[in-house]
């Protein structure tokens, strides 16, 4: 019969012999008996069992994979599990490379960076979720196989058909992931935010997709590129008031903080704070100048801390029309009454 039938037969025999040994043998003999049993029933078929591992992965036969794992586990780390870990790592890496290569030739991926980043991240997640499920269901989250999955994901996420050259920033995995996060968090990108589970709110679905983005983030080889790109996108969303929701922005900052710590997210938090304070200040300005305002149009501005934002102060003084100049002068006077030690550079 096939090796799969043999596995089922051996699994049943081993359970019977283990139960019988527990009943009739002294506990001092159990280990030696178990080793002899494993050598005869598993060890002699070790090569055949290992050779079936990859075909089972291809066919996604979770039950047989679990049975194979349990049998080879009885041979110990070196003889039983190490070969599986090597095969698993290589297989997942190849699957990831193939998945990205497939979407890289998609016409949609060439239309915009937003489309390219979405297809890229979805391809990565499809592979990770599939084999993380097999790791959980068939291999009981075996630590060694978990490390194999991590090594494979780090390899294919950072170097693939869309990310061949590190110097090509548009094709860098970190840049693509930052772009994907921006499409999720920016207004006007409903297509990027999947419908999610039936009955789930749009906020719940967004949280789920952000958590998936963080799953990819953990495997990046260049966090600095991601952080720099994310800050630029974040600044643009805040200044242009394009964030899909405050809750979404706060969720992403919280997730980044969990992985990389407060040092990474403190700048984002300061930027958020600047926007909140600016809104309060403009309300105070409108109230305090209600009867003394020198202009008759709506006026809005944002005071941003130079150290926190990725914007540079202009080398030349901003030249405004007379109508706008009056509003700027009046707000500057109001601002300095409260914070006289700070200088405003208008952009």
**289 or 270, which is more confident?**
270
pLDDT band of residue 109 (cuts 50, 70, 90) is: confident
Q: Which of 305, 196, 202 lies closest to 247, judged by CA?
A: 202
* Structure tokens, 69: 């794992």
pLDDT of residue 52 exceeding 50? yes
pLDDT band of residue 25 (cuts 50, 70, 90) is: low
CB crowding 129-157: b at 16 or more within 10 Å, else e: eebbebbeebbeebeebbebbebbbbbbb
- What's the rounded Cα separation, in Å, for the pair 198 and 266? 35
For the entire predicted model, the pTM comes to: 0.85
Helices (H), the chain: 3-24, 27-41, 46-51, 53-59, 62-73, 82-104, 113-137, 143-158, 173-185, 202-217, 223-239, 246-260, 262-288, 322-338
Q: Are 80 and 73 in contact (CB under 8 A)?
A: yes
* Structure tokens, 238: 């805040």
**pLDDT recorded at residue 201:** 58
Q: Which three-class secondary structure string do you get for 248-276?
A: HHHHHHHHHHHHHCHHHHHHHHHHHHHHH
- Say what percent of the chain tops pLDDT 90: 52
pLDDT of residue 16 exceeding 80? no
pLDDT band of residue 339 (cuts 50, 70, 90) is: low
Task: DSSP for 98-164, please give it.
Answer: HHHHHHHT-GGGGT-HHHHHHHHHHHHHHHHHHHHHHHHHTTTT-HHHHHHHHHHHHHHHHSBTTB-
Summarize the confidence of residues 31-37 as an average pLDDT. Answer: 65
pLDDT band of residue 33 (cuts 50, 70, 90) is: low
Summarize the confidence of residues 63-87 as an average pLDDT. Answer: 93
- What's the rounded Cα separation, in Å, for the pair 155 and 159? 6
Bridge partner residues of 163 (DSSP): 160
Q: Are 192 and 249 in contact (CB under 8 A)?
A: no
**pLDDT recorded at residue 23:** 65
Least confident of 125-134, 142-151, 160-169, 267-276: 160-169
* Structure tokens, 183: 């499409």
Q: Which of 74, 66, 17, 19 lies closest to 45, judged by CA?
A: 74
Summarize the confidence of residues 244-263 as an average pLDDT. Answer: 94
């Amino acid at each position: 019969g096939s090796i799969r039938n043999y596995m089922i037969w051996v699994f049943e025999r081993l359970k019977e012999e283990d139960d019988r040994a527990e009943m009739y043998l002294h506990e001092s003999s159990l280990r030696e008996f178990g080793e002899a049993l494993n050598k005869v029933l598993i060890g002699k078929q070790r090569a055949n069992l290992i050779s079936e591992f990859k075909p089972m992965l291809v066919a996604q036969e979770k039950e047989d994979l679990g049975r194979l794992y349990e049998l080879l586990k009885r041979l110990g780390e070196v003889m039983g599990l190490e070969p599986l870990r090597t095969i698993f790592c290589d297989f997942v890496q190849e699957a990831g490379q193939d998945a990205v290569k497939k979407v890289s030739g998609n016409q949609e991926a060439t239309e915009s960076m937003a489309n390219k980043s979405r297809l890229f991240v979805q391809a990565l997640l499809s592979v990770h979720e599939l084999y993380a499920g097999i790791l959980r269901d068939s291999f009981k989250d075996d630590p060694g196989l978990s490390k194999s999955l991590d090594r494979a994901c780090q390899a294919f996420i950072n170097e693939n058909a869309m990310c061949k050259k590190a110097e090509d920033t548009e094709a860098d995995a970190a840049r693509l992931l930052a772009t994907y996060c921006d499409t999720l968090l920016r207004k006007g990108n409903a297509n990027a935010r999947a419908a999610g589970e039936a009955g789930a709110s749009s906020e719940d679905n967004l949280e789920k997709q952000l958590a998936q983005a963080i799953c990819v983030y953990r495997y990046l080889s260049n966090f600095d590129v991601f952080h720099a790109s994310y800050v630029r996108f974040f600044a643009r969303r805040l200044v242009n008031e394009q964030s899909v929701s405050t809750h979404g922005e706060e969720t992403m900052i919280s997730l980044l903080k969990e992985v990389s710590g407060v040092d990474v997210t403190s700048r984002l938090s300061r930027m958020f704070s600047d926007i909140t304070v600016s809104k309060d200040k403009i309300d105070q300005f409108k109230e305090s100048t209600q009867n003394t305002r020198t202009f008759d149009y709506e006026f809005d501005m944002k005071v941003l801390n130079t150290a926190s934002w990725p914007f540079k102060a202009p080398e030349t003084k901003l030249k405004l029309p007379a109508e706008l100049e009056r509003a700027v002068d009046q707000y500057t006077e109001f601002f300095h009454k409260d914070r006289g030690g700070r200088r405003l550079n208008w952009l």
